[in-house]
Amino acid sequence: MPDRPVPVVPLATVDPLLRDAAAGALLLDVPGAVVVRHDLADGALRRVVHDLGGVREDVVRPLEHACLGCALREDVLPTLDRVAPGARAVVLALPVGAGPRPVLAALRPRGRGGARRAWRGAALVTAVDPHGLVDDLLGDDLLAERGLALAADDRRGVGEALAQQVEAAGALLLPRPAPPRADALLEHLAPAARRALLHACGAGDLLAASPDPAALRGDELPRSVPAPRDGVSTLDLRSHRPLHPERLREELEALGGGPVRGRGRLRLASRPGTAVAWDGAGGQLSIGSVPAGAGPATGSRLLLTGVDLDAVALATAFGRTPLTDAELALGTAWWSTREDGYGPWLGEQEGVR
């Protein structure tokens, strides 16, 4: 085992050609580096390991379930354990369109008592095409429509996948300079991420960078948002009151539809012990529960990012969702015993029989 753990740089993108270009740029910039590339298709996992000398491995193996979690457990981590000791660095090229957070969690350092590994996870690098960025992030294309679905039931939007890759990134690699509007959108979604061009990526800095703990958890919102520019803005909508479940459902289309990237942590009157995650892009919206303590301690917060947003209409729609004085006076116990209709997304309510 080497004296110092070998850095493993996870690489994410929604563009297969850009993935190869970014992996090649990192490979050229770090002598002795190795690329480990994985793809999921038709219930199988393909693993290709190569360096500047050529392909070392090209293996296809069936998976019990064609999901990234199974791939991590059955192939990705064992491959890193085997390949890393002989490399200066490893570029872990994720399946195109894959959400990065399961990988970031799997690469995090082990706590006390965990086995020592020959490698350590570095910050996520996301490769993006700036000239298609606005349409990719805010448009309504599905991964399946581009032939990029990871499984037959993968109905995620391109914007949903790309937004998660961009927001979790420690660095963004671009093949060419970004137009002003795309540059502003990146600033609003990933203000702390370092940006670099492929031909001058500064791989040494990427190898040294550690993952942001917030990116590992994926359960925090930025404390503040950048100022509007080039038509791009982020609305920071907040309420210290719990939200009315029915009125929120009536406003889902207004708040979650259209070319908007939405991130939020909400509190429903009917679920006082649950923080509700809001995750939407390009008209697709998913909601789910998040661990206790995540999000605001009280109230709700929703961030909506887009181009030429109708701020008044969005703020008005959100403003209709909090409880009124009379509704608030009914008390937590009253609300928690009323069926709210969010069971398919959030599970059963406590107190409802």
Give the CATH number for residue 305. 3.30.1220.10
Q: Mean of the per-residue pLDDT values for the chain?
A: 89
In a domain, 187, yes or no: yes
- Same structural domain, 32 and 170: yes
**Residue 100: domain span:** 6-217
Residue tagged 């872990």 (tokens): 92
| 78 neighbors 84 (Cβ within 8 angstroms) | no
What tokens does 113 get?
Answer: 């008592």
CB-count burial class (<10 Å; 0-12, 13-18, 19+) for 104: buried
In a domain, 206, yes or no: yes
Which CATH number belongs to the domain containing residue 30 in this structure?
A: 3.40.50
Say what the pLDDT of residue 212 is: 72
Residues 251-267: b if buried by 16+ CB within 10 A, e if exposed: beeebbebbbbbbbbbb
Q: What is the pLDDT of residues 29-41, one digit of tens each?
A: 898 999 999 998 7
Q: What is the pLDDT of residues 232-274, one digit of tens each?
A: 999 999 999 999 999 999 999 999 999 999 999 999 999 988 8
In a domain, 222, yes or no: no
- Same structural domain, 121 and 61: yes
- Same structural domain, 192 and 250: no
Say what the pLDDT of residue 211 is: 74
- Same structural domain, 18 and 100: yes
Confidence of residue 115 (pLDDT cuts 50, 70, 90): low
Say what the pLDDT of residue 274 is: 87
Using the 3D structure, point to which of 155, 183, 217 is the last residue of a domain: 217
- Same structural domain, 201 and 117: yes
Say what the pLDDT of residue 117 is: 86
Say what the pLDDT of residue 171 is: 93
- Same structural domain, 210 and 100: yes
Using the 3D structure, point to which of 162, 190, 217 is the last residue of a domain: 217
Helix or strand run (H / E) with residue 138: helix 133-138
Q: What is the pLDDT of residues 144-156, one digit of tens each?
A: 999 999 888 889 9
**How many distinct structural domains can be found in the chain?**
2
- Same structural domain, 171 and 316: no
In a domain, 225, yes or no: no
Residue 135: CB partners within 8 Å, gap ≥ 6?
Answer: 141
- Same structural domain, 166 and 311: no
Per cent of the chain over pLDDT 90 is: 67
In a domain, 273, yes or no: yes
Say what the pLDDT of residue 183 is: 97
- Same structural domain, 254 and 158: no
Using the 3D structure, point to which of 174, 189, 217 is the last residue of a domain: 217
pTM: 0.92
Q: What is the pLDDT of residues 308-348, one digit of tens each?
A: 999 999 999 999 999 999 999 999 889 988 899 998 888 88
Distance CA(188)–CA(216), nearest Å, equals 19
In a domain, 83, yes or no: yes
Q: How many helices (H) and strands (E) does the chain have?
A: 15, 14
